[in-house]
């Protein structure tokens, strides 16, 4: 696709293939036991990552024999932050009011601005700026009380963050950790700081998006 046409696109939702990937990953996360250890899910506030976060890690309500809604598993809280959003280039997020209405399971209290004040049309965030934001994000994670965290973000952000971390993380996978993430792919890493405080992070890329013009 022509790079010059990117500014025509708004915040994209998941495609039918993306929803299929979410359903498959939800089954994998539940069957592997990963869900039981995750203490919190941190997500980008863009639409497809919110859909992926809730679709993979969110609670699935069903009715009991009395007609009351109940959740079959203990699912972790989901928190949105601007720090792990997509490279600032082509897509602005919805208002926080719209996000809260569509995703009541997600905590948006860390996002101060109702409107998207970070996005600027035709302004492209450099790889260096993405990496710097990634390091700031990881330092913020290290300051949290949880030790096992799932992060749902975007391919470029996740890749640049892992490259910037270099020797400060242990990759729990056989593949090259610095390659681009596949759609809805999960990679697990252990991150440590200078005091050797460790943090288990499960990094998930958003599922397949669909193209949507304004």
Report pLDDT digits (tens) over 77-119: 999 999 998 876 656 788 899 999 999 999 999 998 887 767 6
Is pLDDT of 70 > 80?
Answer: no
Strand order in the sheet with 186-192: 106-107, 78-80, 40-43, 148-153, 198-205, 186-192, 169-171
Structure token pair of residue 6: 């990117």
Rounded-to-integer distance, Cα 198 and Cα 53, Å = 23
Tokens of 123: 């302004």
Residue 35 contacts residue 41 (beta carbons within 8 Å) = no
**Which pLDDT band, with edges at 50, 70 and 90, does 151 fall under?**
very high
Q: Could you tell me the pTM of the whole model?
A: 0.81
Q: Which residue has the tokens 């109702």?
A: 114
- Pairing, β 69-71 against β 40-43: unpaired
């Amino acid at each position: 696709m022509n790079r010059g046409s990117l500014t025509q696109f708004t915040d994209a939702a998941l495609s039918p293939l993306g929803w299929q990937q979410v359903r498959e990953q939800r089954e994998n996360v539940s069957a592997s036991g990963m869900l039981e250890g995750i203490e919190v899910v941190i997500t980008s506030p863009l639409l497809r990552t919110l859909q992926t976060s809730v679709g993979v890690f969110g609670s699935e309500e069903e009715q009991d024999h009395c007609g009351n809604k109940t959740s079959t598993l203990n699912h972790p809280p989901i928190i949105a932050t601007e720090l792990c959003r997509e490279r600032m280039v082509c897509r602005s997020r919805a208002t926080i009011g719209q996000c809260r209405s569509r995703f009541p399971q997600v905590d948006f209290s860390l996002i101060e601005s109702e409107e998207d004040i970070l996005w600027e049309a035709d302004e492209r965030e450099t790889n260096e700026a993405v990496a710097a934001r990634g390091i700031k994000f990881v330092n913020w994670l290290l300051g949290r009380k949880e030790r096992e965290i799932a992060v749902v973000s975007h391919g470029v952000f996740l890749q640049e963050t892992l490259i910037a971390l270099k020797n400060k993380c242990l990759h729990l996978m056989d593949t090259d950790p610095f390659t681009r993430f596949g759609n809805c792919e999960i990679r697990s890493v252990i991150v440590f700081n200078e005091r050797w405080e460790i943090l288990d992070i499960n990094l998930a890329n958003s599922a397949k998006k669909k193209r949507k013009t304004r």
